[in-house]
Structure 1
Amino acid sequence: MNNKICCVLDTCALSFLLEKESELNESEKEWYNSFELIKNKIDVFVISSLVMHELSLNINIPEAKDNKDSNLVLKKIFNFFKYFFGIDKVEIIDLNEDSITEYRNLYKNTSFLIECQCDNKKDVCKSKKYKHKIDALIVAQASAYANNIYNNDKYSEFWLLTEDKNMKKYKTNNLKIYSFKDAKINLGIEDVLPL
């Protein structure tokens, strides 16, 4: 088996890259520095189609009429990631039957609940605690993809990179769910000063 790392990226591990550097908060600056340190030590970065669509919801591109031209928005985002990570180091994966099967099992076996973070002052939220379906689907998609990778013996490790603490509660046999700090520790990289 090759000693190579494949890293799937969660929405929160990518969204700040699309912001202006001057608008980044201290945590985001630290994450940006982390990416600069780890991106040359990871063999491929994988982004799920679901994450791409989540990212596109907050992007305003003048050429996209009323922001409805989703293909143009997605293309701009993907081109940026190819520039940032390297043209041969980034892939997009789609949902498939394996992802959905994995999702059903993962979601059904999830026992933890997440506190609702809505800002509704009138307290009409139907459920103060809930299972996060999108998070479970992103983890399931990454896990299903990891199964295919391991079957091909292409990579020795498969990571999901996220800064969402709740994502780290999901358990899969073939996936290591890491924060930026975890990733740097596992790559033997020292912390550096933020931008």
Structure 2
Amino acid sequence: MKRNSEQILTEWLVISCQMGDVVAIQKLLKIWYPKLLRYAFRQIGDRQKSEDAVQNTLEIMSLKLGKLTDCAAFPKWIYNILHHKCVDIIRQNQRQNNIENSYQEFVESENESLLHSKNEDSVCFDEMVKHLPNEIYQLVHLYYLEDLSVAEIHHILDIPIGTVKSRLYQARNLIRTNLTGDGNE
């Protein structure tokens, strides 16, 4: 196999890095960082995530470069690490997208079902209570929609229990009148 000057330089830099030469590491990165970034970007399609994949690859390289026995295998070795890091990021993105899509579908289906049920229920409820005075509407809302007890409403609105009961009675009568149309409009 014919080797070019860049391959020979890479092998020499790898050997120098393994011997602890800091300048050799900088030169090796100057040659390989753009190549790795270009490869990662083609795989991932996102600049920031590609940089993350390359950064993770370089971290592994710095930890395990001393164990590389064949310096000519550096390109294959480094691209293998980068490939696995890209796959990890792609899988993470897919999981995140699946979670986001599932959540979005859930929210949309819940909103749609709530909209349908609220539209049907709200129209009826809104029609029944639209003419109630505000202080009576509060009680009706808390008692019937929020399912609070008379005692709880008493504490929330700070009015006597007897007043809560009488206003609920009054509300029922007003709603009945509104529904049957017996009242004056």
Q: TM-score, normalised by structure 1?
A: 0.21
Bigger strand fraction: 1
Bigger helix fraction: 2
Larger RCO (CA within 8 A; separation ≥ 6): 1
